[in-house]
Amino acid sequence: MSATLIADSLCKSFVTGKLRTDVLRGLSIEVFARELTLISGPSGCGKSTLLAILSGLLRPDSGRALALGEDLAGLKPTALEHFRLRHTGFVFQGFNLFPALTAIEQVALPLGYLGLANDVARERARAALDEVGLASRVHLRPAELSGGEKQRVAIARALAKEPQLLFADEPTSALDAGNGQIVIDTLHRIARTHGATVLCVSHDQRLIAYADRVLAMEDGKILSDRRTHTATAKEVLR
């Protein structure tokens, strides 16, 4: 099985005044479809920087980031924007919902940029909200939803685009244990049932039990790479 995401000797540094901070230090990984891959590690270890590079939001100083066979640094800005619109979905810690829009409007909004007609977009949005357990909440606005429900709206918004690549940056850090479990289980199910590549970065240790693969990261490098019992059981079922 070919990797859908490849980091090849990635290096990235940030400069503040006279201080240079090396965030990624020659990091290489391969990530595969139909799996929830978790990058775990302490704050400041480079997790979010790696996610940003692999999703095309940030360019590395050196090395290559390949997504679905495309060298992201080689794409012109318009082509990169088109690639991300067509193939990627994002889930962030802060939900990023519009206060005035209902759940179904939140999810349908980006589908218009894909050229879908309004009725088709709303139908796909409704199906995505149903899949994350929010069929009865489609007409509620963010102020009427719990934190866990807001995050599931954000997941539905990403899911409705039918992305091959789904990126999640600290998706449970603002949630309690129960809602965090629901969110990570939803991401895991998306990987299995939609054949998506789900890459999640978090320092939340609760997520480890729900991931297929756990990459431990520290000081800009991968310290360990292990598959969980969840992955083993799934491979047997295949």
Report the sign of the C-alpha dihedral through residues 153, 181, 87, 202, in that order. Answer: positive
Q: What is the pLDDT of residue 234?
A: 44
What CATH number corresponds to the domain at position 82?
Answer: 3.40.50.300
CB 65 within 8 A of CB 237: no
* Farthest CA pair distance, the chain: 54
Q: Which residues of the chain have pLDDT under 70?
A: 229-238
Q: What is the pLDDT of residue 238?
A: 38
3-state secondary structure of 24: strand
Enter the tokens of residue 77. 């800005």
Cα–Cα distance measured from residue 162 to residue 190, given in angstroms and rounded to the nearest whole number = 10
Enter the tokens of residue 185. 């289980």
69-94: string of b/e by CB count within 10 Å (b at 16+)?
A: eeebeebeeeebeebbeebbbbbbbe
Q: What is the pLDDT of residue 229?
A: 59
In a 13 Å sphere around the CA of 176, the CA atoms on its Cβ side amount to 4
Task: Give the number of domains in the chain.
Answer: 1
CB 41 within 8 A of CB 225: no
Each residue's pLDDT tens digit, 15-26: 988 899 999 999
Report the sign of the C-alpha dihedral through residues 11, 164, 41, 212, in that order. Answer: negative
Closest CA to 59 of 101, 24, 29, 21: 24
- Give the residue carrying structure tokens 């409007």: 105
Residue 220 sits at φ, ψ, to 5 deg, of 80, 10
Q: What is the pLDDT of residue 208?
A: 82
Range of the domain at 224: 5-237
3-state secondary structure of 202: strand
CB 84 within 8 A of CB 76: no
Q: What is the pLDDT of residue 212?
A: 93
Cα 210–216–222 angle (5° rounding)?
A: 140
Q: What is the pLDDT of residue 206?
A: 78
Query: Cα-atom radius of gyration of the chain, to the nearest Å?
Result: 18
